[in-house]
A and B are shown apart, each in its own frame.
Chain A
Amino acid sequence: MARSLITIPTNIMRGEIIDIRVLIQHPMETGYRRGSDGAMLARNLIRQFRCEVAGDDKNRVVIFQAALHAAIAANPYVSFPFRVDNNGTLFFNWVGDNGFTHTETRALTVR
């Protein structure tokens, strides 16, 4: 089971550029390593991270997307800026090997 930490500033002004910071628990096994028994460890990576935003019209727009690879450390941390013009909802989605998928939702409120 994956657990994630999503940090979004509170008290956002309309038009403000905020930093969205996300961290997810994942081993990011490269597939190039051997275990203590000498056998290859199967690759187990998060392949894609995507953040979408939806306003009142419920249309989702991708605001950030990243392809992750073997050289990225375990428990990958991603931070990106976003200009908040309206209230809305953020959708975070991680997709990886072995059918891994994790989704989180956060509300965005401007003042």
Chain B
Amino acid sequence: MKQAALFIAAWLVIAPAFAADTRQTGYHYMRAETRALQDNAAENPAMLWVEEGRALWNKNAANGKSCAGCHGEASTAMRGVAARYPAYSSSAKRPINLAQQINSCRTTKQKSSALALDDQTLLSIEGYVAHQSRGLPISPPTDKRLNAARTLGEKLFHQRIGQLDLSCKDCHTDNAGKSLAGNPIPEAHPTGYPLYRLEWQTVGSLQRRLRNCMVGVRAEPYAAGSKEMVALEVYLAARARGMKIESPAVRP
């Protein structure tokens, strides 16, 4: 009996290491037509933003500095960068996402104005940078200074909110793969942002998606760029560690 208990205890420790990775991105739950739209660069509407981002990458700001001026060729300099965000910013003394990092470059290096986090110009640059990491695994930094945000993000993910009294987990963990009003519920892995949503008819950020869900459960969304939003992003990145980046993705 004691032996059996020991065996079970040992198995509980070892089993997860052997368990196959069953996580799937939203791509897995999409129809063939939507997948084709994402896979084909000539048809993926988000590529329009990526192309815009390419032009902006090389465009000089008023002080004569461009992204390319400091970073060089995006295909090498930005490869894998989006996979490491959100990251801790020493200057801001808090975790920031990729869009906030671009804004920080704009204000400190280019002496230009910060853009709203849902600004199409910012989304274009972010999309161009994220596209350079396509196919690479999400690899959040092991920075200890991110721990607090990750813990907060995990708590928020499991916290019931809104008039419908639902947490992220209630749909995206417990009921992933089932359908909600005719649409499949994905597992909430942020592999394709910024992405083109057919419902939006445009490119949007992960925070816009989070806001959509919060409004959907009739909760008051956290402000764009707030500590809570970034904490959720940090947690989602940790939860999706190792999954391949698909930016720019297309979703229904």
Q: Which A positions have Cβ atoms within 8 angstroms of B?
A: 3-5, 7, 21, 23-25, 27-28, 73-75, 77
Contacts and interface: CB of A to CB of B under 8 A. Distances in A.
- Chain B interface size, under 10 / 10 to 19 / 20 to 34 / 35 or more: 10 to 19
B43 A23 contact: yes
Given A7-B41, A27-B202, A75-B45, 14 more contacts: A3-B55, A5-B42, A5-B51, A21-B43, A23-B48, A25-B49, A25-B52, A27-B201, A28-B201, A74-B201, A74-B202, A75-B202, A77-B43, A77-B45
A35 to B, nearest CB: 14
A34 B51 CA distance: 30
B183 to A, nearest CB: 18
12 contacts: A4-B48, A7-B41, A25-B48, A25-B49, A25-B52, A27-B201, A27-B202, A73-B201, A74-B45, A75-B45, A75-B202, A77-B45
B245 interface: no
Interface of B: 41-43, 45, 47-49, 51-52, 55, 198, 201-202
List 6 A-B pairs, minimum CB-CB distance, nearest first: A7-B42, A74-B201, A75-B45, A25-B48, A21-B42, A3-B52
A3 B46 CA distance: 11
A7 B201 CA distance: 21
A73 to B, nearest CB: 6
Contact of A3 (B51, B198, B202): B51
A19 to B, nearest CB: 9
Contact of A5 (B48, B198, B202): B48
A5 B155 CA distance: 43
Contacts of A7: 41-42
Nearest to A26: B48
A24 to B, nearest CB: 8
A4 B55 CA distance: 13
B185 to A, nearest CB: 24
Nearest to B46: A75
A1 B55 CA distance: 12
Contacts of B51: 3, 5
Contact of B42 (A3, A23, A73): A23
Contacts of B42: 5, 7, 21, 23
Contacts of A73: 198, 201
Contact of B48 (A21, A28, A75): A75
Contacts of B49: 25
